[in-house]
Amino acid sequence: MNFNLLQILLLDISEPGTIALVVGCVVLFILFLWMVPVGLWFTALVSGVHVSLVQLILMRWRKVPPGVIVNAMITGTKAGIPLNRDELEAHYLAGGHVKPVVNALVSAGKANIPLDFKAAAAIDLAGRNVLEAIQTSVNPKVINTPPVAAVAKDGIQLVAKARVTVRTNIRQLVGGAGEETVIARVGEGIVTAIGSANSYKSVLENPDSISKVVLTKGLDSGTAFEILSIDIADIDVGKNIGAMLQMDQANADKNIAQAKAEERRVMAVAQEQEMKAKAQEARAKVILAEAEVPLALADAFRSGNLGVMDYYKLENIKADTQMRDAIAKPATPSATPKKLADKQ
């Protein structure tokens, strides 16, 4: 039974079969438009890009968004850059960024920079922003280094800041060192240039001498950049490192001398205590010897070698000796008669 459009519109949509038919038709139409991007195919056709509907459907099945590939091919065609659909799909499936790569190719072509799709894809897959690299190659980039402290030969510290103007070296983007390496090398060159100066005054007078020394070292070797110029933005005078080192050395020498003096003092005290101990030992021996004298006298009495008169003579000699010692010693000051009278 034939139905025209008017008859379909006049169907009673309240019937369950009619509702299911309408919903099914809508779903099939949406699925058809999703599987067969007719609008995208027509856009490519009018833009001069030849992509069949079958290839667009196959892109869906390969989980490649057709819009990304077709738009990239349209951009390349309008810029006069021939692009291969298979290469674009392979780059997308490899995890690359198709749109930035194509935009980088367009920018490189406008700036007369030799760059093909394979090189751009390799740079993108290496993790670098190929579009930013092309822009930096056309418009050089300025890198501000952090403050670098160095000490001249006279011991004065200088703190310098530099501005490094670089542009991208396209041929060394894959495998070349990054911005951090350039900053580190420039800092090392600044330290070398200031450290080789005889006086900090000469560096302050001619700051461009640092730039000349640093530029002659070829710091951009093996990096993804080409250094165009190194300009010293600021130089500040820091601490007197030489004087501080001398003070530290003097303090260290003083502490060493004090430690040695304390060691000698302790040794002298120990020696003094040792001599006192020896004196006490000798005094004890004298006392022991004096204790044997009465025993010897008693033994002499018993043996008859010493008489009574000899003993008294010996006692008289001892008394005379004690008297002489008393006379020889200074007398203690005695109280004057006036003070004694006052006490009474």
Report the pLDDT value the prediction gives residue 30, as an integer from 0 to 100: 63
* Whole-angstrom distance, CA of residue 193 vs CA of residue 207: 10
Report the pLDDT value the prediction gives residue 24, as an integer from 0 to 100: 65
Please write down the long-range contacts of 251-259, taking CB distance under 8 Å and 24 or more positions apart.
none
The total domain count for the chain is: 2
CATH code assigned at 216: 3.30.479.30
β-pairing verdict for 141-144 and 148-151:
unpaired
Dig out the tokens for 278 from the structure: 């020896």
The whole domain housing 219 covers: 141-243
Same-domain check for residues 56 and 134: yes
Whether 309 maps to a domain, the answer reads no
Q: Following DSSP, what letter does each residue of 47-94 receive, concatenated?
A: TT----HHHHHHHHHTT--HHHHHHHHHHHHHTT----HHHHHHHHHT
| End-of-domain residue from the set 99, 121, 138 | 138
Same-domain check for residues 127 and 115: yes
| End-of-domain residue from the set 106, 138, 170 | 138
Whether 292 maps to a domain, the answer reads no
* Whole-angstrom distance, CA of residue 326 vs CA of residue 277: 29
Same-domain check for residues 129 and 17: yes
Whether 327 maps to a domain, the answer reads no
Whether 211 maps to a domain, the answer reads yes
Whether 314 maps to a domain, the answer reads no
Same-domain check for residues 25 and 146: no
| End-of-domain residue from the set 243, 266, 281 | 243
Same-domain check for residues 206 and 167: yes
Same-domain check for residues 15 and 126: yes
Contact indicator for 26, 60 with CB cutoff of 8 Å? no
Whether 213 maps to a domain, the answer reads yes
Following CA atoms 114, 117, 123, 125 in sequence, which dihedral angle do they give, to the nearest 10 degrees?
180
Whether 3 maps to a domain, the answer reads no
Same-domain check for residues 194 and 148: yes
Whether 306 maps to a domain, the answer reads no
Per-residue pLDDT of the chain (344 residues; tens, 9 = 90+): 444 444 444 444 445 556 666 566 666 556 555 556 667 777 777 777 787 777 777 777 788 888 788 888 888 888 788 888 888 888 888 888 888 888 888 888 877 788 888 888 888 887 777 888 887 877 788 888 888 888 888 888 888 888 888 888 777 777 777 888 888 888 888 888 888 888 888 888 888 888 888 878 777 777 878 888 888 888 888 787 777 888 888 899 889 999 999 999 999 999 889 898 888 888 888 888 878 877 877 787 778 777 777 777 777 887 888 888 788 776 555 544 454 455 44
Same-domain check for residues 48 and 18: yes
The residue ranges of DSSP E strands in the chain, in sequence order, are: 141-144, 148-151, 156-168, 225-240
Residue 175 backbone class (left: φ over 0; alpha: ψ -120 to 50; beta: rest): left
Global pTM reads: 0.54
